Amino acid sequence: MPNKLTSILPSAVLAALLLVLPFRAGAEAYISATYGSGPDEYSSSALSADAALPGMPLRLNLYLFKSGAAQSADVKQSVLGMDWDVSELITAGYKHNALDDGTVTVSGDEGKLSAALNQLWQSELRTRFDIGYTASIYQSSNTGNKELAQDKIGAGLRQGITPSLTLYAGHDEYTYDKNPKNIAYLLIKRTRNNSNVAYTLLGFPDHTNLFGISWQATDALTLDISSSKTVSVLDQLQQSKRLGVDYQLTDQLNLSAAVSKSTSTLVKTALGFTLLPATDDIYTEFSLGWAF
């Protein structure tokens, strides 16, 4: 019981602060709501919030996600975190992630460092390097509540090519404390694959690569194109190509939309039976954000 309380307390404190801060004088905050849709009556909703601590180099952030589809249990995810501007060069971050798809629960803690490297050579074109480590625990009643520990090491780079054009890339590598294939065969019952990180985790990933380009066409309009590729511990290839558009309606309001084409390959058991069929689906998302 003490261990459970210890894990819940930091998240509860962060959530409480996020609710209070936007109403404090001088606080800077941003909140956005997202609705998504896809095949098989798939729908998703997400809420994200970000707030600065007045007079301090700290920001708190919250992300809540829920999705559902025909003949499948809801997927629920919550992420609470904090970012600390250590200096003009370094930012440190922490996040706690909780995920539940009705069969599997995943709980994880992430630490991250970001470096604005262009500060070193005084360039106006931004160069940012990120590195992070995440420790997660998978658990399910279908496996007698036996735990599977996962470690993730990730790195990313964003490079400004011109004042309006930015290239970015990332790589995540996953390891497990025991062979995850037998557990994955028991637990993976979903056939859905999209670019949301919740579904990547539920697919028992081995490694992920991401490449993208962002273009600020005007002061108000930004276009983003990205491609991600994940290989699971069952050697399933999951790919997602995404086109996003963001438009700043006013100084406070912005509207964004995205369409993703997601595919995954067939997975068979050792006896040749189909465990997961191949997929080829289109997903859409619409978001409204408010800065105050």
Whether the CB-CB separation of 89 and 81 falls below 8 Å is answered with no
Pairing of strands 279-291, 274-276: unpaired
Domains parsed from the chain with CATH numbers: 2-291 (2.40.160.40)
Identity (one letter) of the amino acid at 117? L
17 vs 60: which has the higher pLDDT: 60
pLDDT at 210: 97
**192, pLDDT greater than 60:** no
* Residue-wise burial string across 78-115, b where 16 or more C-beta atoms lie within 10 A, e elsewhere: bbbbbbeeeeeeebebebbbbbbbebbbbbbbbebebb
Residue 46: pLDDT band with limits 50, 70, 90: very high
Q: What is the pLDDT of residue 19?
A: 56
With beta carbons less than 8 A apart as the criterion, state whether 176 and 167 touch. no
From CA 8, how far away is CA 222, in angstroms rounded? 38
Q: What is the pTM of this model?
A: 0.86
- If you average pLDDT over every residue of the chain, what do you get? 87
Tokens of 112: 């991250």
pLDDT tens readout for residues 230-239? 999 989 999 9
88-106 per-position pLDDT tens digit: 999 999 999 999 988 888 9
